Copies of this chain bind each other. A is one copy, B any other.
C-alpha cells in the first residue's frame, strides 16, 4: 500500500463542505454530507469516502441529483415506512430514513424503512451503526450503483455488489460491525487499487472468457465474483429485491452505472432496519452476552501461523481511533484529485 498523508479532520470536512456549497448545496446540508463522507475515510472505507467527491460533483453538475429535495415518507404503517428521497444526495436521504427507523423502533420494537429515489450514500456501515447510540441493532441493505456482477454462470451484468451491514452494540468490547459486499471485492476497492497503481489478487474479478483479471484499469473487460459462488449470487439477488424492487427502486437492468453516467438519476434503493434491544431483553444483559461471545471468539485457539482472531468491525474501529489521533488519511493521488477539483470549483486547495 502506498504511503498515506494525514490531514486534520475538520479541515477535510470543511473542504468537502465548501465543494458542495460551490455547486449549489445549502451550507447546512453540505456540512451534513461532508461529515458522513469524511467518516468513511476515518474508518478505512476509503473506496466510499472523499475519493467519491469529484464523481459526486460531476453528477451534480450533470443535473443527475436534486439539490433541493423534498425527502419524505411516502407510505407508512406501524412496523415500516417507505421513504422517497426525491433524488437528493444519498447521505441526506439515508440519514433521514435511519432517524425515521430509530424513532419508530422506540415504540414498535423493530422498524423496517425502505428507501426509493435515493443516491449513492457511502459505506453501508455508516447507517447500520447509527441505531447503536439508542441501544438498537442496525441492519442496512442497498442496491449498488453499478452492475458488475453477472448471474452465476452468466456474463450479462445484471447484479451489483449489493452490500449488507449489521451493527450490534456491545458493552466493554467494541461493537460488532459487519459491512460486506456480496462480491469478493467491492467495486470501490477496485477503483482504489487502480488509483494507487496496484494489481488485484486472483479471485476478485474474471473476464468474459472465465479467466482471472488482475489489472484494475481493465475492470471494464470483466466482472466481479460473488462470495461463495452461487450463494453470493443468490444473496445479491435477494438484497436487490428487498432494497430495490420492493421499494420501487432500481434493480437489475434498471441500475444506472454512476461511474460513467453523469446525467441520469439512479433511483437508488436502500433498507434500514432498527431493532430495539430493550424490547427483547434488558439491554445490560444483552451487552454482557455480546461481550462474552466476543471474548470467546477472540480467545479461540488459532490455526498454525495465525497471529490473532479478528472480529467484524475491529479493523474499522482501530482505524477510526488512529484517524482521530493522527488525522484523516489521504493518499497522494487522492490529494491531487481533490486539489484539481478545488481549482475547477475555484475554492481553496487542501495544503
Asked whether A60 is an interface residue with its Cβ less than 8 Å from the other chain, the reply is no
Looking at the complex, which one of B238, B275, B310 makes contact with A112 (CB distance below 8 Å)?
Answer: B275
Q: Is A80 an interface residue (CB 8 A)?
A: yes
The distance from the CB of A183 to the nearest CB of chain B, in whole angstroms, is 9
How many positions in chain A have a CB within 8 Å of any CB in the partner chain? 78
Write the nearest CB–CB distance from A187 to chain B, whole angstroms.
16
Q: Which residues of B contact A293 (CB under 8 A)?
A: 240-241, 245, 251-252
Q: Is A180 engaged at the interface, CB distance under 8 Å to the other chain? A: yes
Is A289 among interface residues, defined by CB-CB distance under 8 A?
yes
Q: How far is the CA of A308 from the CA of B293 in the complex (A)?
A: 43
Query: A292: nearest residue on chain B (CB-CB)?
Result: B252
**Quick check: A280 and B248 within 8 Å, CB to CB?**
yes
Which residues from B are CB-within-8-Å of A152?
A: 309-310
| Distance, CA A110 to CA B272, complexed state (A) | 12
Cα distance, A252 to B152, chains bound together (Å): 32
Taking a contact as CB atoms under 8 Å apart, the answer to whether A312 and B237 are in contact is yes
Question: With a CB–CB cut-off of 8 A, which chain B residues contact A208?
Answer: 303
Segment of A42-50, A100-108, A256-264, A339-347 engaged in the interface with chain B: A100-108
Provide the bound-state CA to CA distance between A339 and B309, in Å: 47
**8 Å CB contacts to B: which residues of A146-167?**
150-156, 158, 166
B80 touches A253 (CB 8 A): no
Chain A residues 301 to 324 lying within 8 A of chain B, measured CB to CB, are 301-304, 306, 308-312
Q: Is A286 at the interface (CB under 8 A from chain B)?
A: yes
**A75 beta carbon closer than 8 Å to chain B:** yes
| Cβ distance A264 to chain B, nearest Cβ, rounded Å | 19
Q: Does A290 contact B (CB under 8 A)?
A: yes
Q: Are B280 and A238 in contact (CB under 8 A)?
A: no
Q: Tell me if A133 counts as interface (CB < 8 A to partner B).
A: no
- Tell me if A334 is interfacial: C-beta within 8 Å of chain B: no
A326 → chain B, closest Cβ, in Å? 26
B310 touches A230 (CB 8 A): yes
Q: Which of B77, B209, B276, B304 contacts A109 (CB 8 A)?
A: B77
- Whether the pair A151, B297 counts as a contact (CB closer than 8 A) is yes
CB pair A246–B277 under 8 Å, yes or no, is yes
Complex Cα–Cα for A72 and B312 (A): 34
Beta-carbon contact of A78 and B137 below 8 Å: no
- A235 lies within 8 A of chain B by Cβ: yes
> Who on chain B is nearest to A241 by CB?
B168
Q: In the complex, which residue of chain B has the Cβ closest to the Cβ of A210?
A: B303
Report which of B235, B242, B273, B304 forms a contact with A210, defined as CB distance below 8 A. Answer: B304
Residues of B within 8 A of A209 (CB): 304
CB contacts under 8 Å to B, within A215-243, are 227-228, 230-232, 234-235, 237-238, 240-242
Q: Which of A274-288 contact B (CB under 8 A)?
A: 275-277, 279-281, 286
B237 touches A176 (CB 8 A): yes
Partner of A234, one of B158, B281, B312: B312
Question: How far apart sit A188 and B187, CA to CA, in the bound complex (Å)?
Answer: 35
Given contacts A300-B151, A310-B152, contact A79 B232 (CB under 8 A): no
Name A247's closest neighbour in chain B (CB-CB).
Answer: B280
